[in-house]
Structure 1
Amino acid sequence: MALGVLESKTDPKPPGTEYLVDTAQTSAGHELEHTNFKHGKGKKTDIILVPQPSNDPNDPLLWPTWKREVAFAFLFFNCIIFAACPGPMVAPATIGLALQLHVEVKKIALLSGYQLLVVGALGPIVSVLAQKYGKRPQFVFASIFGVIGTGICIAGFDQPSLPKSYDVLLAGRLVQGLGTTAYESLSVAAIGDMFFLHERGLRTALLVLTTACLASFVAICAGTIFENLGARNLFVILLPIQAFGMLGNLLFMPETQFKRPIAVAGVASSEEIQEKQGGNSTTEEAPSNSSSTVPKRSFVGDMRIFSGVYSTNNMFKLLAEIFIHLFNPAIVWVMLVSAILVSCFVGVSYTLAQIFTPPPYGLTVAQNGYFFTGALVGGILGISAGPLCDFIARTFARRNKGIYEAEFRIPVCIFAVILFAVGWFTFSWALSHPQYNHVYLCSFCYGAVSFGTSVASTSAGLYILDAFKKYSTEIFILQMMIKNFLFYAFSTFVNDWAAEKGPANMTRTFGIVTICGFTTCIPMYVFGKRNRVWVHKMWTRYLGEKE
């Protein structure tokens, strides 16, 4: 048993179990394996690179540091403007926009709900196209549709009648949804393409930040802009920013997908390790130091929209394989501690203007936007989840004789449970005792929920990258799809729920669901490695070795 993680009886080193740290505790049987691995540089010389890079100069893991960081910077920026911005733009203006367009509040919520429905429904198609033709085409087309959608939303406010304005605005929001899917579902997987295991924590936390925190920043800005400049200018301001992001995509985000050799020189397979531990002699190939004969691509070659076919599988087969992952218990766990919890967090945002606009609070549109300050601060603090996950992983690996288990990403969820409990249940109490001064306490509680959401989502995202990297694109698509379907579902009933049962009942229910969901972290940590072995064997048998 490795620090509480039950060992597999058949495979001691399934995917997600890696040599990560050279330690003085390394057993004699593993010394040769450690020396043959490629290590980090500078202060990270004791860190073993996972995955091991190839000798191909076009391997994203071997890109110059500036190239990887610039690509990530535009990936992060575009996640904000194409995935995080469109949804919460109208959240603080729900009441004001309903009055302006002469429609009921629920129809304004559906402007976001239908958009998210498109995002969820399009997810499997984006996944298949990404597996087949790479991630870059999906990001490029998403950027283009995002810009077009925002342009349509601007045109919606220039229509001759209010019903026509609503219809065109809804159409624009749907097209914006086409620009959201790729960034929301493929970005974390792209991190796994460009960065080693020990480099992923902070970057994953930053991408989670776009949902849990920067969406709140958007809401703060949107409330002020709506009140002072009107709804149309929300989209007028967004349009040139998205155009800049689209340009950055075209010029600085090369294809990150890479056909990595199944066995990189210097890395022992699970069978070889078993034979070593069983006393049988196995010859292990030393890493090749010879330079690659593959030519390095030029800038123009890097920026091609299509860079080849990455899978020869039939597209219908690839589509069916996405849903097979629902039989993996780990994926069910990820849905519980990430997708469902984020849905609860976002679901409440549909009702905030409805709750705090009437007495005793009496907030204006701008003040409803300022309410999201708590979530903004909570999300910023949530960035700490990334470095914390990396620190815990390295610490546990050192105590485990240098061997890292993917389950070492899970313990950080203890902090998330505390934050969710404080946030949801205190929020419920404050709403059941409505006073104007309680609006500050409610904002703090929403921030605690935002902090907890960041921690849980970062932990779950890193676990998937480490344990099931080969299938990460399909899994993140599933997560995104379920999450957005839940977003849409909430938009159809959550406002009526808050009006009929009271907002305190709603937040208390979310708190109970959250705490119950986190109880699954214990069996996931203990039995996770055995589950990885089972999944690896079953998936290899029924799906074949993934290309």
Structure 2
Amino acid sequence: MSAHAYHVEEARGDEVDRTISATSDTTKAVGDISNEKKAGLKYSASGIELVPQPSDDPRDPLNWPMPKKIAIFGIMCFGTFVGIASAVANVLALPVQAQDFGITPEQASYSISAVLGGIVVGPVVLVAAVRVFGVMSCCFWSELAVVATSIWSSLSTGPGAFKSFAASRAIAGLFTGTVQVFSAGVIAQIFFLHQRGRAFAIYSTICMVSAVAGPTFSGFIVQYHPWPVCFWWTVAANGLSAVLFFFLGDETGWDRVNNRPPSAKRVPETWLKKRLVLFFPGTRVVAPGKMNHVKTSYSVLAKVAFSPICILAGIYSLINYAWFIMAGVQVPIILDSPPSEQGFGFTSQATGYFYFSAWVGALIGVAYGILINDRLPLWIKHRRHGLWHPEYQLHTAWFPGLVVEPIGVGLFGAAVYYHLHYMVLAVAEAMIVFGATACISPAVNYVIEVFKSHPQEVGTALNVYRIAFSVAIQFFYAPWTVRVGVNWAWGTAAFITIFSCVLIAVLFWKGRLLRKYSLLPDEAAEEEELYQRSLKAAEVPATTSKHGSH
């Protein structure tokens, strides 16, 4: 079936394209579009212009049937979940581990810093490997590496074994973040722009939930079982993820300039041979000239990471994610401490139950994203007579970033300082998680749309911004609170969260100008072409639009 026939056939059952799972994007014949200026473009059944424009090749990931897209998205989300959960699987087991290793709980917590450091470095090292082996191959082998390191961690027990355990966690960190970071690029490669808001909302929620799932599970495990069981379940989970990648994975790369697969080599049609091509080692599904692509990837990564757009969006994400991590690190300490030390004297199991407050915040965050992240930008575009600016996507971040998360951060500090009821702490935790979930997804979606040709490099750069601060938190939180007090520390954090919205305001104000100084030459030309086309479609004179005017 041709791509055009596929679009028309799928359009018959499409209603209004409200959810990712309910629809498949389709295109209309040009004659169905009343505006002749848009002739030759493709649209969804609900009349939304498809961005990016798909090719006529059914192998194009944008033309894949929706069930296949959902399957790919599903295995990326599952891989993200088990990867991050594996990284923090021992958070609530630290006191028990400290006794086993013969060290202090503070020293045992350095293993968390080791794995977080690996999560920062790993994707930076592996991002170029995507251009050599393909994204599915990198994810598959990374999952197997996590399986191996989890076994290593489980076997590192007894006095004197902490160095071996810490080494296993540092190496695990190099691979636990692979699927998480590369998921952002896969979303951009298989979904159209008007679908990505919902996809990124789900993805961001998975990231948040997985970060609390590891501690939640470990809290229940160490109450009744030896601490190595905290890692044995991750062996099975990551092994299952690797199996899913092998059976369901498919390469999502596509050469949009020439509208063809990245590699000119023919990929076998039979299932088994295609699996072998994809994963052993995957070099037939990527473009030739691999060493040049490696150099290009690192060059692009550096340019993206230090571009004005990425710096502003990255610092914004760093701030809103930082307090989520800071609260997550402090919750078990606060709950486990005895009442005489301003704690609550919770058992590990009770702390595990408490972590469900974070699950609630994340689920409300994904509901908010699914309802708002795509609808609000499209509504603004409609109000502006069809004129589109990528910054429209950032409007969804105002409510969580300016209202919910600052209140949650301040309430968390007040609950700790005044030793309020633990349910106040739970509400604050839920608000912080909601804010982080709802703030980060539009920022990631925005930067990926700006650097649309390099989604993997964007995901890697933003990961460095988000996680780097998380590594440092354990080293500066205690001195900070001793110096200024818990109330001032968390109060300052709340005001910094409000300040982060100034960064979003700058992107609104000067977004188009900043994009000119951020984009690579080929992307800048494409950006101007799309902007002029948007002006013509909206019937807005170019002279009325100034830099940053939205």
Normalising by structure 2, we get a TM-score of 0.81
Per-residue CA deviation, residues 490-511 of structure 1 (Å, 9 max, x unaligned), is 2333345456655434322322
Contact 1:378 1:451 in 2 (8 A): yes
Residue in 2 that maps onto 1:142: 142
Name structure 2 gaps, 5 residues minimum: 1-24, 28-32, 261-265, 526-550
Contact 1:201 1:387 in 2 (8 A): no
Decide whether aligned partners of structure 1 residues 221 and 537 sit closer, same or farther in structure 2, where only a CA change above 3 A counts.
closer
Per-residue CA deviation, residues 433-476 of structure 1 (Å, 9 max, x unaligned), is 114x2x11011101101000011111101112222211222121
Is 1:299 equivalent to 2:271 in the alignment?
Answer: yes
The one-letter code matched in structure 2 to 1:121 is V
Residue in 2 that maps onto 1:452: 435
Question: In the alignment, which of 374, 377, 388 is matched to residue 390 of structure 1?
Answer: 374
Contact 2:409 2:432 in 1 (8 A): yes
Contact 2:87 2:173 in 1 (8 A): no
The one-letter code matched in structure 2 to 1:163 is G
Is 1:509 equivalent to 2:492 in the alignment?
Answer: yes
Matched residues in 1 for 2:255 and 2:274: separation? 15
Contact 2:140 2:245 in 1 (8 A): yes
Q: Share of identical aligned residues, percent?
A: 18
Matched residues in 2 for 1:243 and 1:263: separation? 35
The one-letter code matched in structure 2 to 1:112 is I
Q: How does 1:210-225 map to 2 (within 5 A)?
A: 210-225=206-221
The Cα shift of 1:302 comes to: 4.3
Contact 1:213 1:376 in 2 (8 A): yes
Q: How does 1:362-441 map to 2 (within 5 A)?
A: 362-383=345-366, 384-416=368-400, 417-435=402-420, 437=421, 439-441=422-424
Residue in 1 that maps onto 2:177: 181
Per-residue CA deviation, residues 228-287 of structure 1 (Å, 9 max, x unaligned), is 1221111122221221111001111111111123589xxxxxxxxxxxxxxxxxxxxxxx
Worse overlay, 86-95 or 113-122: 86-95
Decide whether aligned partners of structure 1 residues 365 and 320 sit closer, same or farther in structure 2, where only a CA change above 3 A counts.
same
Residue in 1 that maps onto 2:298: 319
Residue in 1 that maps onto 2:254: 258
Decide whether aligned partners of structure 1 residues 495 and 211 sit closer, same or farther in structure 2, where only a CA change above 3 A counts.
farther
Decide whether aligned partners of structure 1 residues 243 and 75 sit closer, same or farther in structure 2, where only a CA change above 3 A counts.
same
Residue in 1 that maps onto 2:59: 58
User: What SS does structure 1 have at the residue aligned with 2:92?
Assistant: coil
Residue in 2 that maps onto 1:163: 160
Question: In the alignment, which of 280, 287, 309 is matched to residue 310 of structure 1?
Answer: 287
Residue in 2 that maps onto 1:287: none
Question: In the alignment, which of 455, 464, 467 is matched to residue 472 of structure 1?
Answer: 455
The one-letter code matched in structure 2 to 1:94 is L
Is 1:34 equivalent to 2:26 in the alignment?
Answer: no
The one-letter code matched in structure 1 to 2:470 is F
| RMSD of aligned alpha carbons | 2.6
Matched residues in 1 for 2:346 and 2:166: separation? 26
User: What SS does structure 2 have at the residue aligned with 1:213?
Assistant: helix
The Cα shift of 1:96 comes to: 3.4
Contact 2:122 2:174 in 1 (8 A): yes
Normalising by structure 1, we get a TM-score of 0.81
Name structure 1 gaps, 5 residues minimum: 1-19, 23-28, 265-293, 543-547
Decide whether aligned partners of structure 1 residues 220 and 541 sit closer, same or farther in structure 2, where only a CA change above 3 A counts.
closer
Decide whether aligned partners of structure 1 residues 395 and 480 sit closer, same or farther in structure 2, where only a CA change above 3 A counts.
same
| Matched residue count | 478
The Cα shift of 1:202 comes to: 1.8
Q: How does 1:210-249 map to 2 (within 5 A)?
A: 210-249=206-245
Matched residues in 2 for 1:522 and 1:107: separation? 41
Residue in 1 that maps onto 2:114: 114
The Cα shift of 1:532 comes to: 2.1
User: What SS does structure 1 have at the residue aligned with 2:388?
Assistant: strand
The Cα shift of 1:373 comes to: 1.9
Worse overlay, 167-176 or 411-420: 167-176
Tell me which of the two structures has the higher relative contact order, counting C-alpha pairs closer than 8 angstroms and 6 or more residues apart: 1
Decide whether aligned partners of structure 1 residues 30 and 401 sit closer, same or farther in structure 2, where only a CA change above 3 A counts.
farther
Worse overlay, 294-303 or 250-259: 294-303
The Cα shift of 1:168 comes to: 2.6
Is 1:345 equivalent to 2:330 in the alignment?
Answer: no
Decide whether aligned partners of structure 1 residues 195 and 351 sit closer, same or farther in structure 2, where only a CA change above 3 A counts.
same
The Cα shift of 1:48 comes to: 1.3
The one-letter code matched in structure 1 to 2:391 is E
Matched residues in 1 for 2:176 and 2:319: separation? 19
Matched residues in 1 for 2:460 and 2:379: separation? 31
The Cα shift of 1:420 comes to: 1.2
Matched residues in 2 for 1:318 and 1:217: separation? 33
The one-letter code matched in structure 1 to 2:387 is I
The Cα shift of 1:69 comes to: 1.1
The Cα shift of 1:61 comes to: 1.0
Contact 2:86 2:234 in 1 (8 A): no
Worse overlay, 255-264 or 383-392: 255-264
Decide whether aligned partners of structure 1 residues 130 and 216 sit closer, same or farther in structure 2, where only a CA change above 3 A counts.
same
User: What SS does structure 2 have at the residue aligned with 1:410?
Assistant: helix
Contact 2:267 2:285 in 1 (8 A): no
Matched residues in 2 for 1:357 and 1:432: separation? 16
Residue in 1 that maps onto 2:73: 72
